[in-house]
Amino acid sequence: MPPLLLPYNRAPRANTQRYRIAQPWETHYGPVSCKDYDCEQYLAGWGLVLPFDSDQIAFIRSLKDKQVEVAPGQWHRYTFTEERSEPLLITIRFPAGQPCFKASTHRWHVRPPIFAHDKNEQRRVLRSADFMDSFNTEAYRINHERQKG
């Protein structure tokens, strides 16, 4: 017997059970430093290649040896070297151990996920072990019914 295919827009029936692991961005992720995030640029160093007359070069030069807030509550003093790589290009190299320019966007888990079980539109938050037990029991029941046909 072919598997039962349901349309995606079909609403769940009254006795349908739904399981999910919720990790809301606002409450479960928070800002972290490049060091805590294991940012590749922080660990290995990084560089930029820009045209010599770029406004960005002037901005980056203004950051040299100044205290800059790279993320909320995180301050750093940037050091770098400049070299002309081609007649119209300048390479700016930042050594390892300096936060990247995306440091304010690094996010990491600050709270464990919420294990939720929805049945008949009533949401219950479960311990992870109870969530897995309930999920496995329901999956076994569904698989058993499918095998019976």
Provide the residue ranges of all domains of the chain, joining segments of one domain with +.
33-109, 113-148
Report the C-alpha gap between 133 and 139 in whole angstroms.
10
pLDDT tens string for the chain (149 positions)?
445 444 444 555 555 666 666 667 677 777 888 888 888 998 999 999 999 888 898 889 888 888 888 777 778 898 999 998 788 899 999 999 888 888 878 887 766 666 666 665 455 666 777 777 877 887 888 788 888 86
Whether the CB-CB separation of 88 and 76 falls below 8 Å is answered with no
